[in-house]
Structure 1
Amino acid sequence: MRAAGAECSGLHRGMAARILHRLRHALSGDGGREERPCGGAEAEDCPESSELEDDTEGLSTRLSGTLSFTSHEEEEDEEEEEGAGEEPGQAPQPAAAEDGEWGPEAERGGGSSLLSRQLQELWRRSRGSLVPQRLLFEVTSASVVSERSSKYVLYTIYLIRSGRFDKAPAAIARRYSDFERLNRRLRCRFGCDMAGIAFPRKRLRQNFTAETIAKRSRAFEQFLSHLHSIAEIRRSPEFLEFFFLQDLQAAQRLTCTGMYREALATWANAYRLQDRLGACGSSRFLLTLAGLAVCHQELDELSEAHGCCEQALQLLEAQGSHPLLGPFLQAHVHLAWKVGKDKRRSEALLQDLREAGPPLQQQPTLKECLIKEPLE
């Protein structure tokens, strides 16, 4: 009897120990799963802990330094946002250690959820951060052009922003003499900076062989990339206008002759070129917006024309007085009335101009400003 009582008491103690063991695991986030030994013959039954630690260390090594697109300040902002989302009174989640050390969470079997959080955080940061961009110059094609008195190679160059997909490319077509003129002008103004920049020499023969064209194509890519890497040169009018001045001149001629569809495509390419080159605050860019607005309006694309005027007015608001301010305001009021948009602010600014300057009737329209603007 006494032996049976002892056996029953031992059984109850064993059951209590197992219940307590399960309760501890439930409170620690293990879902009530019994802990099983991981050594000896039963090691294959619970490989999660060892495999997870190995995988996470390898993953940490592979991802280290490859997805870090934010600055230190941005990383601090991200951490503050993460902490701000915790409910009052909730215990903060343990942070992952560096160099693949994931802390005690992995040992308790909760490493899979920690790994998921780590991947989600890396993905969120990589999507929300600004990828450093640089401008690439790529010669995509070269064709031999024969005219009555001359023969030359025309190189087509694409301007590509790394780290970003451009739906519509920005492209130029230039010949050797255009590059040579740019090189000469820059050496006159930036002699010291240009001293270490190579330029392909002229050849007396074999200018039209495939080998020469291929070598020059690569040389022109390197030439433009080197120029763009020097801050003073890439901001200079000589460098910038090498890319978009020809398009502006051609678009102006097409607009003057009433070929608005062809002019619109040329204005649009000039817009993309200036956008890639970071020249969106210049008077040339305002003229480009004027060309786009006029052509869209002539083609009865009023919403697009209204958008161009709004963009121009945002730039002009930061510049103060400008010869194109009045024409853009008049065009914006007219187009806003046509498309049913708010025009009160533009009307108020027009009233201020009317009180401060000459009558608006004497001011040229946006199209007249576009035609009369000298582009040299």
Structure 2
Amino acid sequence: MDPDEPPTGSSLTTKQLQQNLKAVKQRERPLRLLFEIPSSQIIEQTLSRHVVYAVVVMRSGSFDSSRVSVERRYSDFSRLHQQLLEEFDEELEEVVLPRKLLTGNFNSEVISERRLALQDYLAMLFAVRSVRHSRLFSDFFTEPEQRRAHSLLRAGQFGPAMEQLQAVIQIQEKLLPWQKPTLMVASLSALAVCHRDLEDPDQAFAAAHRALPAVRRYGLKAYRAALLELLLDVGYQLGRPVAQIQEELTTLRDAERGEVSYRSLKEIVVQEFI
């Protein structure tokens, strides 16, 4: 037998067969999100104090080395629960948010118990199909950071804005199997603007190019024209072939004359999350 050829079914050892079967099962294992709340912190302010919980989001079913975390207060969980009840009341009959405490909120044992209870709460929410496909669910993990990133962008603080956006995009990537592909358009567009203003055209081109397929598919006209404009301009700088981009932009404007926005991508981005 040629040593360079893979072994056939008849020549595999029992151990190799078992390894192959295990690999197949791992590939076929359905994806799901896992949530951990490994730590918490008491935040002292002038007239008040509160607890923030570090919420880690991971994806199972495939190797996921990226552990992205966000910080949320109990009030954030409570707000999410009320919003979900308004939309999915009957489907949440068995999902109970840990109750609000009137005393003992800053006791270490109480905080530890609440961490585990909130972790279980997120797992129960994810188990409800309508919830995990809801934009309310994804917004819980990303919207505060997106708002912060866009605020920094509007202030011209592109470096810090980019750091926030990269964290948002990592979480959105984990959520995408259950969310619409348009989920990442705003954050990728903002990231492209940051890279361009930081004079990194290669990364600006990559972020804009990544956002474009969902924009095309779902007919986001304003974003499409603006992304094509940025790709065309940055592509010229990089010496990339841009004839197809130019043709697509020209065709779009001819077909949608009077309807396509002529705002730049930056002008669109700065209006988000105001």
Task: For residue 364 of structure 1, report the CA deviation from its aligned partner.
Answer: 0.8
Between Structure 1 and Structure 2, how many residues are aligned?
268
Partner of 2:248: 349
Give RMSD over aligned pairs. 2.8
Are 1:281 and 2:181 an aligned pair?
yes
Q: Structure 2 vs 1, CA of residues 202 and 320 (structure 1 numbering), >3 Å: closer, same or farther?
A: closer
Alignment equivalent of 2:35, drawn from 101, 115, 137: 137
- Partner letter of residue 23 of structure 2? S
TM-score for both structures, normalised by structure 2:
0.88
Letter matched to residue 181 of structure 2: G
Matches within 5 A, 1:5-44: none
Query: What whole-Å deviation, never above 9, does each CA across 1:127-149 have from its counterpart, x for those lacking one?
Result: 79454322100012100001122
Q: In the alignment, which of 231, 238, 245 is matched to residue 332 of structure 1?
A: 231
309, 316, 320: which one pairs with 2:219?
A: 320
Is contact 1:145-1:151 (8 Å) kept? yes
Report the alpha carbon displacement of residue 354 of structure 1 after superposing the two structures with TM.
2.7
Distance, in Å, in 2 between the alignment partners of 1:348 and 1:275 is 30
* 2:123 paired residue number: 225
Write the mapping of 1:1-376 to structure 2, written as runs, cut at 5 A.
Answer: 95=10, 114-115=12-13, 119=16, 122-123=19-20, 126=23, 129-278=27-176, 279=179, 281-282=181-182, 284-358=183-257, 363-373=262-272, 375=273
- Structure 1-normalised TM-score? 0.65
* Residue 335 (structure 1) shift: 1.3
The 2-side partners of 1:339 and 1:300 are apart by 12
Unaligned runs of 5+ in 1: 1-28, 30-81, 87-92, 96-112
Q: 1:114 to 1:346 in 2, by over 3 A?
A: closer
Q: What is the deviation of 1:158? A: 0.5
Q: Report the structure number with the largest CA radius of gyration.
A: 1
What amino acid maps onto 1:153 in structure 2? V
Cα-to-partner distance string for 1:135-176 (whole Å, 9 max, x where unaligned): 100012100001122211000101011244444432211001
What residue ranges of structure 2 are gaps of 5+ in the alignment? none
Deviation string 1:3-59 (CA, Å, 9 cap, x unpaired) is xxxxxxxxxxxxxxxxxxxxxxxxxx9xxxxxxxxxxxxxxxxxxxxxxxxxxxxxx
- Specify the SS of the correspondent of 1:258: coil
Paired AA for residue 56 in structure 2: Y
Secondary structure of the structure 2 residue equivalent to 1:153: strand
Q: Distance in 2 between matches of 1:163 and 1:362?
A: 41
Alpha-carbon distance between aligned partners in 1 of 2:116 and 2:60, rounded to the nearest angstrom: 18
- Classify 1:336/1:158 alpha carbon distance in 2 versus 1 (closer, same or farther; 3 Å): same
Q: What is the alpha-carbon distance in structure 2 between the residues aligned to residue 290 and residue 296 of structure 1? A: 10
- What SS does the aligned partner of 1:342 have? coil
* Paired amino acid for 2:214: L
Question: Which residue type is aligned with residue 145 of structure 1?
Answer: I
SS at match of 1:324: helix
What is the deviation of 1:263?
A: 0.2
Q: Structure 1 residues 224, 321: CA separation in 2 closer, same or farther (over 3 Å shift)?
A: closer
| Structure 2: distance between partners of 1:320 and 1:183 | 32
> Comparing both chains, which one has the higher relative contact order based on Cα–Cα distances under 8 Å and sequence gaps of 6 or more?
2
Residues 124 and 188 (structure 1 numbering): CA distance in 2 closer, same or farther, change over 3 Å?
Answer: closer
Question: Which region of structure 1 is more displaced relative to structure 2, 119-128 or 160-169?
Answer: 119-128
Please state whether the residue corresponding to 1:173 is helix, strand or coil: strand
TM-aligned CA deviation for residue 234 of structure 1: 1.1
Return closer, same or farther for 1:121/1:344 CA change in 2, 3 Å cut-off: farther
Q: Evaluate the alpha carbon distance shift between residue 207 and residue 340 of structure 1 in structure 2; reply closer, same or farther with a 3 A threshold.
A: same
Checking the alignment, whether the CA contact within 8 Å between 1:135 and 1:159 is kept in structure 2 is yes
> What percent of counterpart residues are identical?
27
Write the distance in 1 (CA, Å) between the matches of 2:111 and 2:251.
58
Q: Indicate how the Cα distance of structure 1 residues 211 and 349 shifts in structure 2: closer, same or farther if over 3 A, else same.
A: same
Query: Quick one: distance in 2 between partners of 1:124 and 1:177?
Result: 46
